Amino acid sequence: MSDTGPTASGVRVTRGQRGGWLARLATVNRLSDPTKCLLVSGLTLPFMVGWVVRLSAIRANPETARYISRAFLPTMLAYQWAQLVGHVLIIACALVLRSRGRFRVRWLVHAEIQWWLASFAFSFYALGPFTSPFGVLLLVLPVAGSLIFPARPMVYGFVMLGLYSVLMIGLERAGVIPYAPFLERPPFEDGRLVNSWITSIGGPAIFAAALVLAAHSWIVAQWRLRERELEVLIGTDPLTGVANRRVFFERLDAELARSRRHGNALSLLMVDVDHFKSINDRHGHQVGDVVLADIATGLRDTLRTADVVARYGGEEFSIILPETGLEEATRAAERVRAAIAAHRFPVAAGAVQVTVSVGVACMQPEEAADQLVFRADAALLDAKRSGRDRVTLAAPAPDVAAAPAL
């Protein structure tokens, strides 16, 4: 079987043609669990390294960042080191599990979420819940996390984060712990916010803004991806994978208009499987379905990419041949007929030969879509009456305007 299928417009697409970076972003939640954890911890790691370097420099030089509490600095530095080591361990585990081909590793997902949010809760406490930019992250994390990870680990994580936050705020209000112990005083000098604080806190704020943008882009990507999938679904025959009758008439109208505008030829083939009822009666309807699906694949493989193959109904297929005159269309119909006749369709008893009859019609000036279909279908009926397994050309209508309509 070919790894192709029609879009709602009847054009075949491959798996490698499903969109750009938005389409790839839309599938981030389909990554393996180790890859998701590697992504999240990998994005977090540079911030942890930056904080460890920054705090180490502050501890080495007491004259810098005087707004930081020197008494709390060792605790804050130890916390940053612990957070850094935790993410390094998660990354190491994720790399090992990826190398072993593990896709679903829920304990690693829980560890990633719980560690991330526990660390976040401590930062929330150290910098103060009402005077730090982490409140923005608190709004962003549920959205961003839920887009990447399954719902249950995220619910567990945010239950714990809620408990941490309530406990921390409650203890601070009760006077048990100080508010924002990392700060000795507000980070202002001469009435201006100090640059080091802007640098230290600006990074997480920018990261939060980037998460918001990524979450928005992910939602848009999901919406567009689902829209394309729905478009393909409603325009595709589920059994054969080719366009359905609705799409066939939409494309036929469009190709007729284009042919008249540019003065190009347009031909139509109507293909019907000979004695299909006997196949169902003798081998069963499941075999009949396999035969129809294989014939549809054979039609796609035999014809050009620009040609539109559709299931017209039952065991009948319709094929639009853009920019194709009657002579070339007849050759294409003979190729189709010969290819199917030469193929042996597997059944339980061995193999069965299937033939098709084909009617060919070429567009006439001012001819409507239903009139063209009528002539091609009449030619198909003549082919079946004449003995089947043959190609018959439609007679030109002497008066196109008076041709019967469906």
User: Mind giving me the DSSP string for 325-349?
Assistant: -HHHHHHHHHHHHHHHHH-EEEETT
The pLDDT of 124-147, averaged and rounded, is: 70
What is the pLDDT at residue 94?
A: 95
CA 92 from chain centre, in angstroms, equals: 29
Average pLDDT over residues 196-216: 66
Q: Is 80 exceeded by the pLDDT of residue 345?
A: yes
- Residue 205: pLDDT over 80: no
Between 265 and 12, name the one with better pLDDT.
265
Evaluate whether 397 touches 367 at the Cβ level (below 8 Å). yes
The DSSP bridge partners found for residue 391 are: 358
Residue 18 tokens read as 């499903």
Using one digit for the tens of pLDDT, what is the confidence trace for 244-262? 999 999 999 999 999 999 9
Q: What is the pLDDT of residue 392?
A: 95
CA angle 328/329/335 to nearest 5° reads: 95
The answer to whether residue 325 scores a pLDDT higher than 90 is: yes
**Predicted confidence band at 37 (pLDDT cuts at 50, 70, 90)?**
very high
Distance (Å, whole) CA 350 – CA 27: 43
d(CA 237, CA 310): 8
The answer to whether residues 222 and 329 touch, using CB atoms and an 8 Å cutoff, is: no
Residue 23 binned pLDDT confidence (cut-offs 50, 70, 90) = low
- At 10 the pLDDT is 41
Q: What mean pLDDT is reported for the chain?
A: 82
Q: Of residues 315, 334, 366, 367, which has the active-site annotation? A: 315
Calculate mean pLDDT across residues 316-334.
Answer: 95
Helices (H), 263-303: 276-283, 285-302
Partners of residue 271 on adjacent β-strands: 317, 358
Q: What is the mean pLDDT of residues 34-48?
A: 89
Which fold, 245-402?
Alpha-Beta Plaits (3.30.70)
SS3 state at 14: strand
Give the pLDDT confidence score for residue 255 in this predicted structure.
94
The structure's pTM equals 0.51
Q: Which amino acid type is present at position 341? A: A
Task: Give 44's pLDDT tier (boundaries 50, 70, 90).
Answer: confident
Q: Sketch the domain layout of the chain as residue ranges.
A: 4-233, 245-402
Per-residue pLDDT at 404 exceeds 50: no
Token pair belonging to 154: 């995220």
The pLDDT of 9-36, averaged and rounded, is 58
Split at pLDDT 50, 70, 90, the class of 34 is very high
Separation CA 237–CA 250 (nearest Å): 15
Verify whether residue 63 is a known catalytic residue: no
Does the pLDDT value for residue 406 go beyond 50?
A: no
Q: What is the phi-psi region of residue 190: left when phi exceeds 0, alpha when psi lies from -120 to 50, beta otherwise?
A: left
- The pLDDT-based confidence of 172 (bands split at 50, 70, 90) is confident
What's the pLDDT at 209?
Answer: 66
Given this model, what pLDDT does residue 266 score? 95
Residue with the larger pLDDT of the pair 152 and 200: 152
Token look-up 């796609």 returns: 300
Q: Tell me how far apart the alpha carbons of residues 267 and 247 are, in angstroms, rounded to a whole number.
A: 17
pLDDT of 141-166, one tens digit each? 666 677 788 888 888 888 888 888 88
- The pLDDT, as a whole number, for residue 140 is 66
Q: How many residues comprise the chain?
A: 406
pLDDT of residue 109 exceeding 80: yes
Of 93, 95, 86, the C-alpha closest to 52 is 86
Q: Report d(CA 77, CA 50) in Å as an integer.
A: 11
Dump pLDDT digits (tens) for 60-96. 988 888 788 899 999 999 999 999 999 999 999 999 9
Residue 198: predicted pLDDT = 66
Q: pLDDT band at residue 193, thresholds of 50, 70 and 90?
A: low
Helices marked H in 128-238 = 134-148, 151-173, 195-234
